[in-house]
């Protein structure tokens, strides 16, 4: 595959389905994956996200997935323009991480920088994790695999694992992803705390939205983490690692959709994933399910957050310990070679992961709030048709998140964080009750 370059030109055009088939027919590797001749191929639109055009193309031998960045936010239409070069950053992210995370992501097969068009391995029979969680299904590997994915990506793109020259080269590249960084900053960190046309919360949530807007302590905590998100260039992040960005089977996990990739705090990706598990926990309260099944699913969800964290932590520490001569400039092994140095290094590593945990907790809370108040809503809540019932589950999520952000000392360890989730169930629609 040729090197990826960011070369959006005036030749960009939105590809119709027939043109996609024509385009793929000219790519021998992809034509071979599909098999037969283009007349035998079928194409179907599978776009279920907010942003891009996504298609599955099947041939007699196999399939591929094609994704084109449109000049606007697909779900909203052309009144919300968006730079197409996000596909360049998605392709760059896939290329940067391919050797690091291996089979935990689909294989990038082709990127066309003029058309901002990606072709990747088709994941089958995988489903999007969010849909599976909504159905109450369990995926035994997902949380551990995501924890491992984040550990691998974090180690090999940060000052732990690579020389600063390499890291700064990556920072230079991914710093160009400004259109999507603007979306992250606005939709995650700004919009939930102001009145803005993009917010899409239901009217039953009005009192909560108002309470969040007026809560200066909460906004102070959010400001601190917004600033950390922009200024702590710790590692290359996926940038949008929610349960809709993970495709699963019972024994395989793949992380997709790295278009929001940016440098930032490692806890941001972990927090995003944890947030969406907790969202699912609260949303289950609005589904008509057998109570025993619901309780079991909820217990499993909390266990998955524990698995996510514990796998991340142990994998990161193992990578760090196994690479005493790492090229990373952060903690040179020569400074900690003797026995007392080794002991100190153990403390340093513990402090490092503890700081990541605190970030996880805070970013999880921030991500939960944005999924209730801001533009991009989630189906976990959205499928609850009775809006009062939906709002009650959302209010629980907001109450939990508000407490996490305002009283972080109460959530210093995993046990305290997970134990708190059920305590916020049924807090009600009045944000001033049960504070
Ligand atoms: N490699 C793949 N194999 C099979 N299906 C895929 C693949 N990649 C994406 N999909 C399907 O296409 C859908 C949309 O993909 P994706 O999430 O990348 O789009 P997006 O427009 O960037 O979404 P978002 O609004 O979440 O950013 C996925 O939810 C999934 O159903
Ligand atoms: Mg996307």
The pair of structure tokens assigned to 374 is 């801001």
Q: What is the pLDDT of residue 322?
A: 85
| 62-80 confidence digits (pLDDT tens) | 999 999 999 999 999 999 9
Q: What is the pLDDT of residue 359?
A: 98
State if residue 51 touches ligand 1 by the CB under 6 angstroms criterion.
Answer: yes
Q: What is the pLDDT of residue 1?
A: 39
State if residue 52 touches ligand 1 by the CB under 6 angstroms criterion.
Answer: yes
Q: How many angstroms separate the alpha carbon of residue 87 from the centre of ligand 2?
A: 9
Instruction: Tell me if the bond preceding 198 is cis, omega within 30° of 0.
Output: no
How much is the average pLDDT of 94-108?
Answer: 98
Q: How many angstroms separate the alpha carbon of residue 93 from the centre of ligand 2?
A: 13
Q: What is the pLDDT of residue 3?
A: 44
Confidence of residue 10 (pLDDT cuts 50, 70, 90): confident
By alpha-carbon position, which residue is closest to atom 24 of ligand 1? 49
Please state whether the predicted TM-score (pTM) of the whole model is above 0.95.
Answer: yes
Q: How many angstroms separate the alpha carbon of residue 51 from the centre of ligand 2?
A: 6
Q: What is the pLDDT of residue 232?
A: 98
The pair of structure tokens assigned to 193 is 């705390």
Give yes or no for a contact between 213 and 194, defined as CB atoms under 8 angstroms apart: yes
- Name the phi and psi angles at 132, rounded to 5: -65, -40
Q: What is the pLDDT of residue 333?
A: 85
Give yes or no for a contact between 428 and 388, defined as CB atoms under 8 angstroms apart: no
| 375-395 confidence digits (pLDDT tens) | 999 999 999 999 999 999 999
CA distance 368 to 389: 18
State if residue 257 touches ligand 1 by the CB under 6 angstroms criterion.
Answer: yes
Say whether pLDDT at 89 is over 90: yes
Q: Across the chain, what does the average pLDDT equal?
A: 96
Q: How many angstroms separate the alpha carbon of residue 371 from the centre of ligand 1?
A: 18
CA distance 116 to 89: 10
Q: What is the pLDDT of residue 324?
A: 62
User: Which of 72-86, 286-300, 320-334, 403-417 shows the lowest per-residue confidence on average (mean pLDDT)?
Assistant: 320-334
- Give the Cα-Cα-Cα angle 354, 318, 265 (nearest 5 degrees): 40
Q: What is the pLDDT of residue 327?
A: 83
| 322-353 confidence digits (pLDDT tens) | 876 678 999 988 899 999 999 999 999 999 99
Say whether pLDDT at 2 is over 60: no
How much is the average pLDDT of 264-290?
Answer: 98
| 49-63 confidence digits (pLDDT tens) | 899 999 999 999 999
Complete domains list, the chain, with CATH: 17-121 (3.30.200.20), 127-423 (3.90.1200.10)
Q: What is the pLDDT of residue 403?
A: 98
Q: How many angstroms separate the alpha carbon of residue 420 from the centre of ligand 2?
A: 31
Q: Which one of 34, 45, 46 would you pick to mutate in the ligand 1 pocket, going by the greatest count of ligand atoms within 8 A of its CB? A: 46
Confidence of residue 5 (pLDDT cuts 50, 70, 90): low
């Amino acid at each position: 595959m040729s090197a990826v370059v960011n070369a959006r030109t005036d030749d960009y055009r939105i590809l119709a389905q027939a043109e996609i088939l024509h385009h793929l027919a000219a790519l021998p590797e992809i034509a071979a994956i599909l098999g037969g001749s283009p007349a035998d191929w079928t194409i179907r639109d599978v776009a279920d996200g907010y942003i891009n055009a996504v298609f599955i193309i099947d041939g007699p031998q196999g399939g591929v997935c094609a994704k084109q960045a449109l000049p606007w936010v697909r779900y909203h239409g052309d009144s919300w323009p968006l730079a197409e070069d996000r596909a360049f950053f998605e392709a760059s992210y896939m290329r940067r991480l391919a050797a690091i995370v291996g089979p935990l992501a689909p294989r990038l097969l082709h990127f066309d920088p003029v058309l901002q068009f990606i072709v990747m391995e088709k994941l089958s029979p995988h489903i999007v994790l969010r849909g599976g969680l909504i159905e109450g299904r369990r995926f035994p590997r997902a949380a551990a695999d995501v924890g491992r994915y984040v550990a691998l990506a974090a180690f090999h793109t940060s000052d732990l694992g690579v020389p600063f020259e390499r890291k700064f080269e990556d920072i230079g590249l991914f710093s160009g992803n400004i259109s999507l960084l603007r979306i992250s900053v606005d939709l995650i960190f700004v919009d939930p705390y102001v009145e803005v046309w993009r917010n899409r919360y239901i009217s039953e949530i009005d009192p909560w939205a108002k309470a969040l807007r007026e809560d200066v302590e909460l906004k102070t905590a959010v400001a601190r983490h917004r600033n950390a998100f922009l200024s702590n260039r710790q590692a290359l992040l996926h940038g949008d690692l929610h349960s809709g960005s993970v495709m699963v089977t019972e024994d395989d996990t793949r992380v997709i959709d790295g278009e929001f990739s940016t440098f930032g705090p490692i806890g941001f990706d972990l927090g995003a994933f944890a947030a969406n598990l907790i969202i699912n926990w609260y949303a289950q309260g609005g589904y008509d399910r057998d109570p025993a099944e619901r309780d079991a699913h909820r217990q499993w969800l909390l266990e998955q957050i524990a698995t996510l964290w514990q796998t991340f932590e142990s994998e990161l520490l193992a990578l760090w310990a196994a690479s005493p001569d790492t090229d990373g400039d952060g903690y040179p092994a020569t400074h900690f070679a003797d026995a007392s140095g080794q002991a100190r290094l153990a403390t340093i590593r513990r402090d490092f992961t503890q700081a990541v945990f605190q970030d996880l907790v805070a970013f999880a809370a921030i991500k939960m709030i944005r999924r209730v108040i801001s533009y991009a809503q989630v189906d976990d809540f959205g499928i609850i048709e009775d809006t009062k019932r939906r709002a009650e589950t959302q209010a629980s999520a907001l109450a939990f998140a508000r407490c996490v952000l305002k009283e972080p000392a109460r959530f210093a360890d995993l046990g305290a964080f997970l134990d708190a989730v059920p305590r916020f169930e049924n807090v009600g629609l009045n944000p001033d009750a049960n504070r």
